[in-house]
Structure 1
Amino acid sequence: MKLLFLGDVMGRAGRTAIRDRLPGLRADWGLDFVVVNGENASSGIGLTPDHAKLLLEAGADCVTLGDHAFDQKDMLRFIETEPRIIRPVNFSKVAPGQGVRVFTATRGRKVAVAQVLGQVFMKRPFDDPFSGIEAALKPHSLGGAVQAVLVDVHAEATSEKMALGHWLDGRASLVVGTHTHVPTGDAMILPGGTGYMTDAGMCGDYNSVIGMDKAEPMRRFITGMGRERFTPAEGEATLSGAYVETDDRTGRATRIVAVRVGGRLQPSAP
C-alpha cells in the first residue's frame, strides 16, 4: 500500500497548498490512503468544521488533531458527526470523538489511524501515552485485522517520540511525529518493520517562525514583551511529511521517504 502523511497544516498558506497540490499528488503517486494533521489549519490554532471539510475534500482520508484539538469550539460538536477526524487517545476521558479508527483504503484494505499526545514539555499533563496507545491499538493487529496502522505522535520532545516509535516497532506501519513544525531528517525503517520519522514538519510557509509571521515572535524573543497577536505567515507553503510503502500481508513498511513539495524547502518526493 502507498501511504502519505502530511504534517501540521498551518493557517491559510497550508490550507491553500493542500487544496492545490494534494489532488495531484494522489493521482501522480498512486496513493492508497492519506492522513493530514489539521491541528493549526485555522488561524494557526485548532481546526474549524469548514476548514476540516476543505482538507477532506482535497483528498485527505483522515485528519488528525493535537493539543489544540478543541481550541475552535465548533469542533466539540463537529467531531461527533465526522468520523474522519481523529483526536488524541489520551486528550481527556470526557473528550468527544475518537482517538483511533479503522478506515477503508483502496481495494477494500483496512487502515487503522491513531493519535497520541506526549507528556514531556507539553503545557498540560496528559495521560501516559505509552499505555494509552497500546490499549488503542490492541484490537487492531498489524497484518491481521488491518493491513496498515498509522500513528501520529503529537509531542514536543524528540526523545519521547523516538521512545514511542521503538515501543510500537512491529505493531505499526508508520509512527510519525507532529507538533514542532520542523521536519527531521531521520526517516527510517525500525528493526521490527515500522516506518519512523521524528517530525513530519508543517504544511506552511517556512519563511516564518514555525509558521507564524516573523515579526512578533522575534520581538518577544528580543525584548521579552509582546505587542501583537501571533498570525500565520502567508507566503507559499511547503507540503511536508512522509511517504510510506507497506507490505499488505505483514503491514510492515518496505520504504519510507521524507516529502517536501513546493515552497522554500529543498524538494524531495517518492
Structure 2
Amino acid sequence: MKVLVIGDIVARPGRTAVLERIEDLRERYKADLIIANVENLAGGYSITPPLVEELLAVGVDVMTSGNHIFDKREAIAYINQQPKLLRPANYPPGTPGNGMWVGQVNGVGVAVINLIGRVFMGPADDPFRAADALLRELDPSVRVRLVDFHAEATSEKCALGWYLDGRVSAIFGTHTHVQTADERILPQGTAYITDIGMTGSHAGVIGMDRDDVIARFLTVTHRRLESAKGDVRICGIALDIDEQTGRARGISRFAIKHES
C-alpha cells in the first residue's frame, strides 16, 4: 500500500497548494491513501467545516490535527459529525471527536491514530499509554497502522517511535513545521521521521508573517499573526507498506515548491 502524508497545511497558501496539486501528487506517488494534518487550515488556527469538506472532496482521505484544533468554535460540534477528522486521542475524556479512524483501503484494514505530546505542550494524557490502549482495541486483521504524533520535543517523538516499533507501520511527527532529515525504518519494521514539515508559505516564520512574529519577540504590544505569502512548498512523506505484515518497506520525504 502506498500512503501519502501531507504535513501541517497552513492557511490559504497551504490549502491552495494542496487543492491545485493533489491529483499530481496522487499520480506521482501512486497513493492509495492520503492523510493530511489540518490543525492550521483556517488562517493558521483550527478548521472550518467548509474547508475540511473541500479537502475531502478533492481526495484527502483522513485528516489529523493537534493543539489548535479547537481554536475555532465551529470545530467543536463539527468534529463529532466528521469521522475522518481526528483530534489527539490522548486529550482528556469527554473531549469531542475521536483520536482514531479505522477503515478499508482497497479491501485492506487501515487504522490512523492521532496523538499529542506533553513536553512543551498543553495538558494531555500519556501518549504512550494512550497508544497502548488504542492498539489493544484494534482487530488483529488491521495490520496497516499509521500514527501522527503532534509534538514539540524531538526526544519525545523519537522515544515513542522506538516504543511502537514493530506494533505500527509508521509514526511521523508533526507540529514543528520544520522537516527533519532522519527518515528511516526501525529494526522491527516501523517507518519513522521526527517531523514531516509544513505545507504553506516558507517566506515567513513557520508559516506566519515574519514581521508579525518578530514583533512578538520585540514588544508586548504585538499584533495578531497573519499567514505569510510566497515561497509555498508542499512537505510530507511517501510510505510503502506491506499489506500482509503491516511492516514498512519504504519511507521518503518530499518538499515540493508550488507555483500557483
Whether these two folds match at TM > 0.5 is: yes
Match of 1:267 in 2: none
Once the two structures are superposed, what CA deviation does each residue of 1:188-241 show, in whole Å capped at 9, x if it has no partner? 0011100000001111111110000100111222x2334321001122421111
SS in 1 for 2:19: helix
**Identity within the alignment, %:** 42
Alpha-carbon distance in 2 for matches of 1:29, 1:220: 40
TM-score normalised by L of structure 1: 0.92
2:154 equivalent to 1:158 = yes
Contact 2:144 2:241 in 1 (8 A): yes
The alignment yields a C-alpha RMSD, in angstroms, of: 1.4
Match of 1:234 in 2: 229
SS in 1 for 2:232: coil
Match of 1:49 in 2: 49
In the alignment, residue 197 of structure 1 is paired with which amino acid? I
Contact 1:18 1:58 in 2 (8 A): no
Which of residues 201, 208, 214 is equivalent to 1:212?
208
In the alignment, residue 125 of structure 1 is paired with which amino acid? P
* Ranges in structure 2 where 5+ consecutive residues have no aligned partner: none
Q: Trace 1:179-218 onto structure 2 (pairs within 5 A).
A: 179-218=175-214
SS in 1 for 2:3: strand
Q: How many residues align?
A: 259
Q: Trace 1:167-178 onto structure 2 (pairs within 5 A).
A: 167-178=163-174
Alpha-carbon distance in 1 for matches of 2:258, 2:180: 17
1:140 to partner: Cα distance: 2.4
In the alignment, residue 133 of structure 1 is paired with which amino acid? A
Alpha-carbon distance in 2 for matches of 1:48, 1:215: 26
2:91 equivalent to 1:96 = no
In the alignment, residue 165 of structure 1 is paired with which amino acid? G
Greater alpha carbon shift after TM alignment, 207-216 vs 69-78: 69-78
2:28 equivalent to 1:33 = no
Contact 1:175 1:196 in 2 (8 A): yes
Once the two structures are superposed, what CA deviation does each residue of 1:95-136 show, in whole Å capped at 9, x if it has no partner? 11110121221x2111100011100011x2211111011101
TM-score normalised by L of structure 2: 0.96
2:107 equivalent to 1:108 = yes
SS in 1 for 2:142: coil
Match of 1:139 in 2: 137
SS in 2 for 1:69: coil
Match of 2:238 in 1: 243
Contact 2:201 2:233 in 1 (8 A): yes
* Ranges in structure 1 where 5+ consecutive residues have no aligned partner: 265-270
Match of 2:118 in 1: 119
Match of 2:11 in 1: 11
2:87 equivalent to 1:87 = yes
Match of 1:129 in 2: 127
Contact 1:67 1:91 in 2 (8 A): no
